[in-house]
């Protein structure tokens, strides 16, 4: 697979050094890696890859990248390439050092790339920006070379290459291609405008997988329900935005009673029910019960349908996205995601039920008859 990534025509806002806030303490990562990646087992090792990809995903969510390539190199190192704006290379005011150096050695942009840098024997970054190629190397979180300008280019974006440190990852430094592939595939489902690929250069026969789902999480639900008997073929698709919180929900009922609810916030799977997921469930149940009352589909003495009964047989994928930071200094957003999710989904789903009475009736029939 070539490293080249096609141009994107939607670059309008400049990504500059004023967007970088310096926070101290990167050295602490090597002392307590578990605080940043969970543990130093294979799970923690793969967390390094997620961190770098997450940085590129942020560029895509901001509208400045539409391709990400992940490569497992022959020596078991990792390369991640995007076609975003490219990390800033100018001098950062507080440190007096190149902004890219600040990004990889101080806690800015959250902590993702700093953590990877600190836990790698080598990390090098190549930046394609404003017609020039810039390059810098680090080792175990420390600067190895000055930022240098290597030549001219018509590309834009960032390439990060790193080698995990065996002193930290004593259990293994070998990446699992299947694990990486499944993660990249899931990210493609969750980001319908994004093309992702992963290539394994280890061994004689290189493996390449490319993912792009124009229907996004609709395709995800179809995949989850493959070879299962659905109550009705149509997918229920709800999307909307409020206070910078974007919500996408795709649902489909099966004839059985087993439910499968998968929830993601900024592309991260929430394996334990969070407040946003609770907000979705309560809004869903409230909309169904309100519709039943308004249309006299429940008798006066009948109790409201419970969340558990309404969700029997339901497969649903929820994707919530909102800015992690606000302002040029990347201050963390204080958004009440649960409340917004509840209100936004209720209004959208209530409207859907009113406009699709046959679907509403079949949901109620299934929930009612399963009592």
Residue-wise pLDDT tens digits, 283-341:
999 999 999 999 988 777 778 888 999 999 999 999 998 876 443 333 344 567 778 88
Closest to 119 measured CA to CA, from 75, 162, 179, 76: 162
pLDDT at position 26, please?
62
What pTM value is reported for the model? Answer: 0.86
Which of residues 301 and 218 earns the better pLDDT score?
A: 218
Looking at residues 215-234, what average pLDDT do you find? 95
pLDDT at position 327, please?
35
Lowest-pLDDT choice from 55-59, 93-97, 208-212, 243-247? 93-97
Report angle CA 179, 183, 185 to the nearest 5 degrees: 115
pLDDT at position 20, please?
47
Measured torsion, CA atoms of residues 214, 215, 217, 218, in degrees rounded to the nearest 10: -160
According to the CATH classification, is domain 25-213 in 3.30.565.10?
Answer: yes
Looking at residues 39-66, what average pLDDT do you find? 94
CATH 3.30.230.10 in the chain: give the residue spans: 215-369
CA 95 to CA 143: how far, in whole Å?
14
* Average pLDDT, rounded, for the chain: 87
Looking at residues 8-12, what average pLDDT do you find? 47
Looking at residues 228-233, what average pLDDT do you find? 92
Looking at residues 92-106, what average pLDDT do you find? 87
CA 6 to CA 187: how far, in whole Å?
20
Bridge partners for 92 per DSSP: none
Bridge partners for 100 per DSSP: none
pLDDT at position 337, please?
76
pLDDT at position 134, please?
98
pLDDT at position 247, please?
94
Residue 9 binned pLDDT confidence (cut-offs 50, 70, 90): very low
pLDDT higher than 70, residue 96: yes
Specify the DSSP element, H or E, that contains 248.
strand 245-253
Handedness of CA 65, 69, 75, 77 (dihedral sign): positive
pLDDT higher than 90, residue 65: yes
Closest to 92 measured CA to CA, from 173, 200, 17: 17
Looking at residues 110-118, what average pLDDT do you find? 86
CA 27 to CA 338: how far, in whole Å?
35
Check residue 19 and report its DSSP letter.
G
According to the CATH classification, is domain 215-369 in 3.30.450.20?
Answer: no
Looking at residues 346-356, what average pLDDT do you find? 96
pLDDT at position 17, please?
58
Provide the H-helix boundaries in the chain: 28-31, 34-37, 42-61, 99-105, 112-118, 177-190, 217-224, 275-294, 307-310, 337-355, 357-369
Residue 224 binned pLDDT confidence (cut-offs 50, 70, 90): very high
pLDDT at position 367, please?
85
CATH 3.30.565.10 in the chain: give the residue spans: 25-213
pLDDT at position 28, please?
84
pLDDT at position 110, please?
53
pLDDT at position 213, please?
98
pLDDT at position 6, please?
44
pLDDT higher than 70, residue 170: yes
């Amino acid at each position: 697979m070539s490293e080249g990534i096609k141009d994107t025509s939607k670059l309008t806002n400049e990504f500059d050094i004023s967007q970088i806030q310096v926070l101290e303490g990167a050295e602490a990562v090597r002392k307590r890696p578990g605080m940043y990646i969970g543990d130093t087992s294979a799970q923690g090792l793969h967390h390094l890859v997620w961190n770098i990809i997450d940085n590129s995903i942020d560029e895509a969510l901001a509208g400045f990248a539409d391709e990400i390539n992940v490569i497992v190199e022959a020596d078991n190192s990792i390369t991640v390439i995007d076609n975003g704006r490219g990390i800033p290379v100018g001098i950062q005011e507080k440190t007096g050092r190149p902004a890219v150096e600040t990004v990889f050695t101080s806690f800015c942009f959250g902590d993702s790339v700093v953590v990877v840098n600190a836990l790698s024997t080598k990390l090098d970054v190549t930046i394609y920006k404003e017609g020039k190629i810039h390059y810098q190397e680090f080792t175990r979180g420390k600067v190895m070379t000055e930022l240098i300008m290597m030549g001219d280019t018509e590309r834009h974006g960032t390439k990060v290459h790193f080698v995990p440190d065996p002193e930290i990852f004593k259990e293994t430094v070998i990446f699992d291609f299947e694990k990486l592939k499944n993660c990249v595939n899931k990210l493609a489902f969750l980001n319908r405008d994004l093309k992702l690929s992963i290539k394994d250069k280890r061994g004689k026969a290189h493996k390449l997988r490319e993912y792009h789902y124009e229907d996004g999480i609709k395709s995800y639900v179809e995949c989850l329900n493959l070879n299962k008997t659905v109550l009705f073929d149509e997918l229920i698709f709800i999307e909307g935005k409020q206070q910078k919180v974007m919500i996408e929900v795709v649902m489909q009922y099966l004839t059985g009673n087993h439910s499968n609810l998968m929830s993601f916030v900024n592309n991260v799977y929430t394996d334990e029910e969070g407040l946003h997921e609770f907000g979705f469930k309560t809004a869903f149940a409230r909309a169904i019960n309100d519709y039943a009352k308004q249309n006299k589909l429940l008798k006066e003495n009948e109790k409201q349908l419970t969340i558990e009964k309404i969700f029997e047989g339901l497969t649903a994928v929820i994707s919530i996205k909102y800015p992690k930071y606000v302002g040029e200094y990347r201050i963390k957003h204080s958004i009440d995601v649960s409340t917004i999710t509840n209100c936004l989904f209720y209004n959208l789903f209530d409207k859907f039920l009113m406009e699709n009475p046959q679907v509403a009736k079949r949901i109620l029939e299934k929930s009612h008859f399963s009592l």
